[in-house]
Amino acid sequence: MKTKFALFPLAGLLTFPAFADIQINGFANLIAGMTLDDDDTVYGYDDGFSFDPASVFGLQVRGEVNDKLSATAQLVGRGSEDYSADFEWAYMTYALNHTTNISAGRLRVPLFKYSSSLDIGYAYHWLTPPDAVYGIDFNNIDGVRIDYSNYSGEWEYGAQLTFGSAKADTTISGTPAALELDNVVALSFEATRDWFSARTLYARATTSAANEEFDTFVGGMAQFGGVVPNALTSAAGFSVDEDTGTFFEVALDVDKYDWFIGAEYTQTEVDNAIIAENSAWYVTAGMRFGKFTPHITFEREEGDNANQLALVAALPSTIATGDPDTDGTWASIYQGAAGIAAGQDLEVSAVTAGLRYDVEPGFALKADVTWYSDDLDDTNDATLLKVGVNYTF
Protein backbone atom coordinates (compact mmCIF):
# COMPACT_ATOMS: atom_id res chain seq x y z
CA MET A 1 0.00 0.00 0.00
CA LYS A 2 2.73 2.35 1.01
CA THR A 3 4.71 1.63 -2.14
CA LYS A 4 1.69 2.28 -4.29
CA PHE A 5 1.14 5.69 -2.79
CA ALA A 6 4.80 6.52 -3.14
CA LEU A 7 4.60 5.71 -6.84
CA PHE A 8 1.77 8.12 -7.56
CA PRO A 9 3.78 11.36 -7.60
CA LEU A 10 6.37 9.67 -9.80
CA ALA A 11 3.73 8.43 -12.22
CA GLY A 12 2.31 11.93 -12.27
CA LEU A 13 5.68 13.38 -13.18
CA LEU A 14 6.30 10.85 -15.91
CA THR A 15 2.95 11.27 -17.63
CA PHE A 16 2.55 15.02 -17.17
CA PRO A 17 4.13 16.11 -20.48
CA ALA A 18 1.73 13.84 -22.39
CA PHE A 19 -1.31 15.02 -20.44
CA ALA A 20 -0.43 18.66 -20.97
CA ASP A 21 -1.59 18.47 -24.58
CA ILE A 22 -4.89 16.71 -24.00
CA GLN A 23 -8.07 18.58 -24.84
CA ILE A 24 -11.46 17.45 -23.63
CA ASN A 25 -14.61 18.84 -25.22
CA GLY A 26 -18.19 17.78 -24.98
CA PHE A 27 -21.64 18.34 -26.35
CA ALA A 28 -25.19 17.60 -25.32
CA ASN A 29 -28.41 17.72 -27.32
CA LEU A 30 -31.34 17.00 -25.05
CA ILE A 31 -34.34 16.91 -27.36
CA ALA A 32 -37.88 15.98 -26.44
CA GLY A 33 -40.62 15.52 -28.98
CA MET A 34 -44.13 14.24 -29.54
CA THR A 35 -46.66 14.09 -32.35
CA LEU A 36 -49.68 16.29 -31.81
CA ASP A 37 -52.34 13.80 -32.87
CA ASP A 38 -53.22 10.45 -31.34
CA ASP A 39 -51.53 7.45 -32.95
CA ASP A 40 -49.38 9.48 -35.33
CA THR A 41 -45.76 8.45 -35.57
CA VAL A 42 -42.88 10.09 -37.42
CA TYR A 43 -39.05 9.97 -37.17
CA GLY A 44 -39.31 7.63 -34.16
CA TYR A 45 -41.70 9.87 -32.20
CA ASP A 46 -45.26 9.04 -31.22
CA ASP A 47 -47.96 10.87 -29.27
CA GLY A 48 -46.11 10.32 -25.98
CA PHE A 49 -43.38 12.75 -24.97
CA SER A 50 -39.99 11.13 -25.62
CA PHE A 51 -36.34 12.11 -25.31
CA ASP A 52 -35.01 9.04 -27.08
CA PRO A 53 -35.09 9.53 -30.86
CA ALA A 54 -32.73 12.51 -31.17
CA SER A 55 -30.99 13.14 -27.85
CA VAL A 56 -27.22 12.75 -28.05
CA PHE A 57 -24.43 13.22 -25.52
CA GLY A 58 -20.77 13.14 -26.44
CA LEU A 59 -17.31 13.58 -25.08
CA GLN A 60 -14.27 14.12 -27.24
CA VAL A 61 -10.70 13.62 -26.15
CA ARG A 62 -7.88 14.78 -28.36
CA GLY A 63 -4.24 14.30 -27.53
CA GLU A 64 -1.37 15.87 -29.39
CA VAL A 65 1.46 13.40 -29.67
CA ASN A 66 3.58 16.13 -31.24
CA ASP A 67 3.17 19.10 -33.60
CA LYS A 68 2.29 16.79 -36.47
CA LEU A 69 0.46 13.86 -34.91
CA SER A 70 -2.71 13.79 -32.84
CA ALA A 71 -5.21 11.20 -31.67
CA THR A 72 -8.95 11.88 -31.38
CA ALA A 73 -11.64 9.72 -29.79
CA GLN A 74 -15.30 10.57 -29.48
CA LEU A 75 -17.50 8.70 -27.04
CA VAL A 76 -21.15 9.15 -27.97
CA GLY A 77 -24.35 8.03 -26.25
CA ARG A 78 -27.59 8.21 -28.22
CA GLY A 79 -31.08 8.06 -26.80
CA SER A 80 -32.07 5.90 -29.76
CA GLU A 81 -29.54 3.31 -28.54
CA ASP A 82 -30.45 3.55 -24.88
CA TYR A 83 -27.51 5.95 -24.29
CA SER A 84 -25.01 3.11 -24.39
CA ALA A 85 -21.73 4.88 -25.04
CA ASP A 86 -19.88 3.96 -28.22
CA PHE A 87 -16.59 5.12 -29.65
CA GLU A 88 -18.05 6.53 -32.85
CA TRP A 89 -14.79 8.19 -33.81
CA ALA A 90 -11.32 6.96 -33.04
CA TYR A 91 -8.63 8.15 -35.37
CA MET A 92 -5.15 9.57 -35.64
CA THR A 93 -4.32 12.62 -37.71
CA TYR A 94 -1.00 13.48 -39.26
CA ALA A 95 -0.43 17.03 -40.49
CA LEU A 96 1.52 16.63 -43.72
CA ASN A 97 1.91 20.39 -44.02
CA HIS A 98 -0.13 23.54 -43.34
CA THR A 99 -2.77 22.63 -45.93
CA THR A 100 -3.05 18.84 -45.80
CA ASN A 101 -3.99 16.41 -43.02
CA ILE A 102 -4.28 12.66 -43.23
CA SER A 103 -6.56 10.88 -40.74
CA ALA A 104 -6.92 7.14 -40.30
CA GLY A 105 -9.24 5.09 -38.12
CA ARG A 106 -12.98 5.35 -37.57
CA LEU A 107 -14.06 8.75 -38.78
CA ARG A 108 -16.92 10.78 -40.21
CA VAL A 109 -17.56 10.70 -43.98
CA PRO A 110 -18.28 14.27 -45.07
CA LEU A 111 -21.40 13.22 -47.03
CA PHE A 112 -23.36 16.38 -46.24
CA LYS A 113 -22.84 20.04 -45.52
CA TYR A 114 -23.46 19.44 -41.82
CA SER A 115 -21.79 16.01 -41.62
CA SER A 116 -18.82 17.13 -39.57
CA SER A 117 -21.02 18.86 -36.99
CA LEU A 118 -24.00 16.50 -37.24
CA ASP A 119 -24.02 15.83 -33.49
CA ILE A 120 -23.21 19.41 -32.54
CA GLY A 121 -26.72 20.81 -32.54
CA TYR A 122 -25.32 24.12 -31.36
CA ALA A 123 -23.68 24.56 -34.77
CA TYR A 124 -26.96 24.80 -36.72
CA HIS A 125 -30.36 26.43 -36.34
CA TRP A 126 -32.62 23.34 -36.28
CA LEU A 127 -32.93 20.83 -33.47
CA THR A 128 -32.13 18.12 -36.03
CA PRO A 129 -31.12 18.54 -39.70
CA PRO A 130 -33.85 17.78 -42.30
CA ASP A 131 -34.55 14.05 -42.22
CA ALA A 132 -35.29 13.83 -45.96
CA VAL A 133 -31.63 14.52 -46.69
CA TYR A 134 -29.91 13.57 -43.42
CA GLY A 135 -31.90 10.43 -42.58
CA ILE A 136 -29.19 8.04 -43.74
CA ASP A 137 -28.11 4.77 -42.15
CA PHE A 138 -24.45 5.54 -41.65
CA ASN A 139 -22.23 8.56 -41.12
CA ASN A 140 -18.96 7.01 -40.02
CA ILE A 141 -16.47 4.87 -41.85
CA ASP A 142 -13.40 2.82 -41.05
CA GLY A 143 -10.72 4.13 -43.31
CA VAL A 144 -8.57 7.04 -44.32
CA ARG A 145 -9.49 10.66 -45.01
CA ILE A 146 -7.26 13.27 -46.60
CA ASP A 147 -8.28 16.85 -45.82
CA TYR A 148 -6.94 19.74 -47.87
CA SER A 149 -7.75 23.38 -47.19
CA ASN A 150 -6.31 26.60 -48.54
CA TYR A 151 -7.23 30.15 -49.51
CA SER A 152 -6.67 32.43 -52.43
CA GLY A 153 -7.62 36.09 -52.37
CA GLU A 154 -11.02 36.30 -50.70
CA TRP A 155 -11.82 32.63 -51.34
CA GLU A 156 -11.31 29.79 -48.94
CA TYR A 157 -11.54 26.34 -50.41
CA GLY A 158 -10.96 22.73 -49.52
CA ALA A 159 -11.22 19.15 -50.66
CA GLN A 160 -11.62 15.84 -48.88
CA LEU A 161 -10.87 12.39 -50.19
CA THR A 162 -12.17 9.49 -48.08
CA PHE A 163 -11.55 5.76 -48.51
CA GLY A 164 -12.81 2.89 -46.42
CA SER A 165 -15.66 0.58 -45.52
CA ALA A 166 -18.72 0.85 -43.31
CA LYS A 167 -21.26 -1.40 -41.63
CA ALA A 168 -24.66 -0.24 -40.43
CA ASP A 169 -28.18 -1.37 -39.68
CA THR A 170 -30.70 -0.67 -42.42
CA THR A 171 -34.07 -1.95 -43.57
CA ILE A 172 -34.86 -3.78 -46.79
CA SER A 173 -38.55 -3.83 -47.68
CA GLY A 174 -39.49 -3.12 -44.09
CA THR A 175 -37.33 -5.69 -42.30
CA PRO A 176 -33.93 -5.12 -40.66
CA ALA A 177 -30.87 -5.79 -42.77
CA ALA A 178 -27.12 -5.56 -42.28
CA LEU A 179 -25.78 -2.90 -44.63
CA GLU A 180 -22.21 -3.37 -45.73
CA LEU A 181 -20.37 -0.80 -47.80
CA ASP A 182 -16.98 -1.73 -49.17
CA ASN A 183 -14.45 0.08 -51.34
CA VAL A 184 -16.03 3.40 -50.40
CA VAL A 185 -14.46 6.34 -52.23
CA ALA A 186 -15.81 9.83 -51.54
CA LEU A 187 -14.49 13.08 -52.98
CA SER A 188 -15.81 16.45 -51.88
CA PHE A 189 -15.02 20.09 -52.59
CA GLU A 190 -16.04 23.23 -50.80
CA ALA A 191 -15.55 26.94 -51.34
CA THR A 192 -16.45 29.92 -49.20
CA ARG A 193 -16.25 33.61 -49.87
CA ASP A 194 -17.49 35.97 -47.17
CA TRP A 195 -21.27 35.30 -47.09
CA PHE A 196 -21.37 32.67 -49.84
CA SER A 197 -20.49 28.99 -49.55
CA ALA A 198 -20.90 25.96 -51.77
CA ARG A 199 -19.92 22.33 -51.56
CA THR A 200 -20.39 19.10 -53.43
CA LEU A 201 -19.57 15.43 -52.95
CA TYR A 202 -19.53 12.34 -55.09
CA ALA A 203 -19.16 8.88 -53.55
CA ARG A 204 -19.39 5.29 -54.67
CA ALA A 205 -19.31 2.02 -52.79
CA THR A 206 -19.85 -1.69 -53.25
CA THR A 207 -23.16 -2.14 -51.46
CA SER A 208 -24.55 -5.28 -49.82
CA ALA A 209 -27.46 -5.68 -47.44
CA ALA A 210 -27.99 -9.11 -45.91
CA ASN A 211 -31.54 -9.85 -44.75
CA GLU A 212 -32.45 -13.48 -44.26
CA GLU A 213 -36.13 -13.18 -45.13
CA PHE A 214 -35.51 -11.12 -48.24
CA ASP A 215 -32.55 -13.23 -49.37
CA THR A 216 -34.66 -16.39 -49.03
CA PHE A 217 -37.34 -14.77 -51.16
CA VAL A 218 -34.83 -13.75 -53.83
CA GLY A 219 -33.31 -17.25 -53.74
CA GLY A 220 -36.78 -18.71 -54.29
CA MET A 221 -37.30 -16.51 -57.33
CA ALA A 222 -33.91 -17.51 -58.76
CA GLN A 223 -34.83 -21.20 -58.51
CA PHE A 224 -37.42 -20.60 -61.22
CA GLY A 225 -34.65 -19.56 -63.62
CA GLY A 226 -35.09 -22.75 -65.65
CA VAL A 227 -38.85 -22.34 -65.99
CA VAL A 228 -39.46 -18.60 -66.08
CA PRO A 229 -37.53 -16.46 -68.51
CA ASN A 230 -36.09 -13.40 -66.68
CA ALA A 231 -36.47 -14.96 -63.20
CA LEU A 232 -32.68 -15.00 -62.74
CA THR A 233 -32.30 -11.44 -64.02
CA SER A 234 -35.08 -10.17 -61.80
CA ALA A 235 -33.70 -12.05 -58.77
CA ALA A 236 -30.28 -10.50 -59.35
CA GLY A 237 -31.97 -7.13 -59.84
CA PHE A 238 -33.75 -7.46 -56.49
CA SER A 239 -30.85 -8.69 -54.37
CA VAL A 240 -28.55 -6.19 -52.70
CA ASP A 241 -25.34 -8.11 -53.10
CA GLU A 242 -22.13 -6.33 -54.02
CA ASP A 243 -24.00 -3.82 -56.14
CA THR A 244 -22.51 -0.45 -57.06
CA GLY A 245 -24.01 2.39 -55.08
CA THR A 246 -23.42 6.03 -55.93
CA PHE A 247 -24.17 9.15 -53.93
CA PHE A 248 -24.11 12.75 -55.10
CA GLU A 249 -24.58 15.86 -52.98
CA VAL A 250 -24.53 19.60 -53.56
CA ALA A 251 -25.20 22.45 -51.14
CA LEU A 252 -25.34 26.24 -51.49
CA ASP A 253 -25.58 28.82 -48.73
CA VAL A 254 -25.89 32.55 -48.42
CA ASP A 255 -25.43 33.91 -44.92
CA LYS A 256 -25.70 37.68 -44.61
CA TYR A 257 -25.89 37.33 -40.84
CA ASP A 258 -29.18 39.28 -40.51
CA TRP A 259 -30.70 36.61 -42.72
CA PHE A 260 -29.59 33.36 -44.33
CA ILE A 261 -30.83 30.93 -46.93
CA GLY A 262 -29.46 27.51 -47.79
CA ALA A 263 -30.29 24.47 -49.87
CA GLU A 264 -28.93 20.97 -50.20
CA TYR A 265 -29.70 18.19 -52.67
CA THR A 266 -28.74 14.52 -52.60
CA GLN A 267 -29.18 11.65 -55.00
CA THR A 268 -28.60 7.98 -54.16
CA GLU A 269 -28.62 5.05 -56.56
CA VAL A 270 -27.79 1.40 -56.10
CA ASP A 271 -27.52 -0.31 -59.48
CA ASN A 272 -29.29 -3.62 -59.94
CA ALA A 273 -30.83 -3.71 -56.46
CA ILE A 274 -34.24 -3.37 -54.83
CA ILE A 275 -33.22 0.02 -53.38
CA ALA A 276 -35.08 2.70 -55.36
CA GLU A 277 -33.31 5.74 -56.78
CA ASN A 278 -33.62 8.30 -54.07
CA SER A 279 -33.50 12.08 -54.44
CA ALA A 280 -33.94 14.50 -51.58
CA TRP A 281 -33.56 18.20 -50.99
CA TYR A 282 -34.38 20.99 -48.62
CA VAL A 283 -34.44 24.77 -48.67
CA THR A 284 -34.07 26.61 -45.39
CA ALA A 285 -34.12 30.28 -44.46
CA GLY A 286 -34.00 32.28 -41.29
CA MET A 287 -33.43 35.67 -39.76
CA ARG A 288 -31.35 36.69 -36.76
CA PHE A 289 -32.82 39.21 -34.33
CA GLY A 290 -30.25 39.46 -31.56
CA LYS A 291 -30.50 36.22 -29.62
CA PHE A 292 -33.53 34.99 -31.58
CA THR A 293 -33.32 33.04 -34.85
CA PRO A 294 -36.72 32.17 -36.34
CA HIS A 295 -36.41 29.86 -39.35
CA ILE A 296 -38.41 27.83 -41.83
CA THR A 297 -37.49 24.76 -43.90
CA PHE A 298 -39.14 22.83 -46.70
CA GLU A 299 -37.85 19.32 -47.38
CA ARG A 300 -38.80 16.63 -49.87
CA GLU A 301 -37.71 13.06 -50.52
CA GLU A 302 -38.66 10.85 -53.46
CA GLY A 303 -37.93 7.23 -54.24
CA ASP A 304 -38.23 6.30 -57.91
CA ASN A 305 -38.99 2.58 -58.25
CA ALA A 306 -39.31 2.48 -62.07
CA ASN A 307 -36.37 0.04 -62.39
CA GLN A 308 -37.86 -2.31 -59.80
CA LEU A 309 -41.32 -2.19 -61.41
CA ALA A 310 -39.71 -2.96 -64.79
CA LEU A 311 -38.13 -6.11 -63.31
CA VAL A 312 -41.55 -7.25 -62.14
CA ALA A 313 -43.16 -6.32 -65.46
CA ALA A 314 -40.66 -8.61 -67.21
CA LEU A 315 -42.07 -11.59 -65.25
CA PRO A 316 -45.25 -13.55 -65.98
CA SER A 317 -47.79 -13.30 -63.15
CA THR A 318 -48.70 -16.99 -63.57
CA ILE A 319 -47.09 -19.99 -65.16
CA ALA A 320 -48.50 -23.35 -66.28
CA THR A 321 -45.98 -26.15 -65.76
CA GLY A 322 -48.60 -28.77 -65.16
CA ASP A 323 -47.60 -29.02 -61.50
CA PRO A 324 -50.11 -27.01 -59.42
CA ASP A 325 -47.66 -26.68 -56.48
CA THR A 326 -44.96 -25.15 -58.68
CA ASP A 327 -47.49 -22.85 -60.38
CA GLY A 328 -48.88 -21.75 -57.01
CA THR A 329 -45.42 -21.06 -55.58
CA TRP A 330 -44.56 -18.92 -58.58
CA ALA A 331 -47.82 -16.98 -58.33
CA SER A 332 -47.07 -16.11 -54.72
CA ILE A 333 -43.46 -15.19 -55.54
CA TYR A 334 -44.76 -12.90 -58.29
CA GLN A 335 -47.26 -11.28 -55.92
CA GLY A 336 -44.53 -10.81 -53.33
CA ALA A 337 -42.17 -9.26 -55.88
CA ALA A 338 -44.86 -6.90 -57.13
CA GLY A 339 -45.63 -5.82 -53.57
CA ILE A 340 -41.97 -5.27 -52.65
CA ALA A 341 -41.26 -3.29 -55.84
CA ALA A 342 -44.36 -1.14 -55.35
CA GLY A 343 -43.35 -0.55 -51.73
CA GLN A 344 -40.11 1.19 -52.82
CA ASP A 345 -42.12 4.15 -54.09
CA LEU A 346 -41.67 7.13 -51.80
CA GLU A 347 -42.90 10.69 -51.84
CA VAL A 348 -42.70 12.56 -48.57
CA SER A 349 -42.32 16.21 -47.72
CA ALA A 350 -42.24 18.30 -44.59
CA VAL A 351 -42.33 21.91 -43.50
CA THR A 352 -40.52 22.86 -40.31
CA ALA A 353 -40.86 26.18 -38.51
CA GLY A 354 -38.57 26.77 -35.59
CA LEU A 355 -37.04 29.23 -33.19
CA ARG A 356 -33.55 29.25 -31.75
CA TYR A 357 -32.71 31.32 -28.68
CA ASP A 358 -29.05 31.82 -27.84
CA VAL A 359 -28.84 31.92 -24.07
CA GLU A 360 -25.07 32.34 -23.99
CA PRO A 361 -22.14 31.22 -26.13
CA GLY A 362 -22.24 27.42 -26.21
CA PHE A 363 -25.81 27.17 -24.98
CA ALA A 364 -29.00 27.45 -27.06
CA LEU A 365 -32.68 26.63 -26.56
CA LYS A 366 -34.80 25.61 -29.53
CA ALA A 367 -38.33 24.67 -30.50
CA ASP A 368 -39.34 23.21 -33.90
CA VAL A 369 -42.72 22.22 -35.31
CA THR A 370 -42.71 19.87 -38.33
CA TRP A 371 -45.69 19.19 -40.55
CA TYR A 372 -44.84 15.88 -42.22
CA SER A 373 -46.81 14.66 -45.19
CA ASP A 374 -46.68 11.35 -47.06
CA ASP A 375 -47.97 12.08 -50.55
CA LEU A 376 -48.64 8.38 -51.23
CA ASP A 377 -50.49 7.61 -48.01
CA ASP A 378 -51.88 10.51 -46.04
CA THR A 379 -52.63 8.28 -43.05
CA ASN A 380 -48.89 8.67 -42.36
CA ASP A 381 -49.16 12.47 -42.11
CA ALA A 382 -48.12 13.82 -38.75
CA THR A 383 -47.38 17.02 -36.88
CA LEU A 384 -44.33 16.86 -34.65
CA LEU A 385 -43.34 19.23 -31.85
CA LYS A 386 -39.77 19.19 -30.56
CA VAL A 387 -38.14 21.28 -27.87
CA GLY A 388 -34.55 20.99 -26.79
CA VAL A 389 -31.29 22.29 -25.46
CA ASN A 390 -27.94 22.32 -27.25
CA TYR A 391 -24.84 22.67 -25.17
CA THR A 392 -21.18 22.51 -26.08
CA PHE A 393 -18.02 23.02 -24.06
Partner 1 sequence: MKKWLLALSLFSSAAWADIAVIVHPSNNDVLNKPTISRLFLNKAKTFPSGSPVTPLTLSEGNASTDEFNGKVLNKTSAQLTAFWAKLVFTGKGQPPKALASDSDAIAAVANDPSAIAYVDASAVDDSVRVVATF
Q: How far apart are CA 383 and CA 40, in angstroms?
A: 8
Q: How far apart are CA 54 and CA 385, in angstroms?
A: 13
Q: In this complex, which beta carbon is closest to partner 1, that of residue 32 or of residue 56?
A: 56
Q: How far apart are CA 62 and CA 91, in angstroms?
A: 10
Contact 86, 75 (CB under 8 A): yes
The nearer residue to partner 1, 89 or 224, going by C-beta atoms, is 89
Sign of CA dihedral 374, 379, 380, 384: positive
DSSP string, 37-95: STT--BTTB-SS-BSTTT-EEEEEEEEESSSSEEEEEEEEEEGGGTT-EEEEEEEEEEE
Q: How many residues does the chain have?
A: 393
Minimum gap (Å) between residue 127 Cβ and partner 1 = 15
Least distance from partner 1 to the Cβ atom of residue 309, Å: 42
Residue (2 or 98) nearer to partner 1, CB: 98
Ramachandran bin of 117, using left for φ above 0, alpha for ψ from -120 to 50, beta for the remaining angles: alpha
Nearer to partner 1, 51 or 151 (CB): 151
Q: Is the separation of the CB atoms in 339 and 309 below 8 Å?
A: no
The secondary element (H helix, E strand) that includes residue 341 is helix 324-343
Least distance between partner 1 and beta carbon 217 (Å): 42
Which residue lies nearer to partner 1 by CB, 340 or 364? 364
Q: Read off the DSSP letter of residue 50.
A: B
Q: How far is the CB of 7 from partner 1 (least distance, A)?
A: 32
Collect all residues with Cβ–Cβ distance below 8 Å to 18 and sequence separation of at least 6.
63
Minimum gap (Å) between residue 106 Cβ and partner 1: 12
Q: Give the Cα separation of 121 and 371 in Å (integer).
A: 21
Say how far apart CA 175 and CA 305 lie, in whole Å: 18
| Residue number with CB closer to partner 1 (27 or 281) | 27
Q: Do 253 and 265 touch, CB atoms closer than 8 A?
A: no
Binding site for partner 1 (CB under 8 A): 23, 25, 27, 58, 60, 62, 70, 72, 74, 91, 93, 98, 101, 103, 108, 116-117, 119-120, 122-123, 147, 149, 151, 154, 156, 257, 291, 358, 361-362, 364, 392
Q: How far is the CB of 242 from partner 1 (least distance, A)?
A: 32
Check: CB of residue 149 under 8 Å from CB of residue 157: yes
Q: At what angle do helices 212-222 and 324-343 cross, to 10 degrees?
A: 130
Residue closer to partner 1, measured from CB, 60 or 272: 60
Tell the smallest beta-carbon distance from residue 198 to partner 1 (Å): 17
Q: Which is nearer to partner 1, 62 or 204 (CB)?
A: 62
Please state the closest distance from residue 89 (CB atom) to partner 1, in A. Answer: 8
By beta-carbon proximity to partner 1, the closer residue of 134 and 217 is 134
Q: Name the nearest CA neighbour of 338 among 173, 212, 170.
A: 173
Give DSSP secondary structure letters for 225-245: GGTSTTHHHHHHHH--SSEEE
Q: Least separation, in Å, of the C-beta of 258 and partner 1?
A: 11
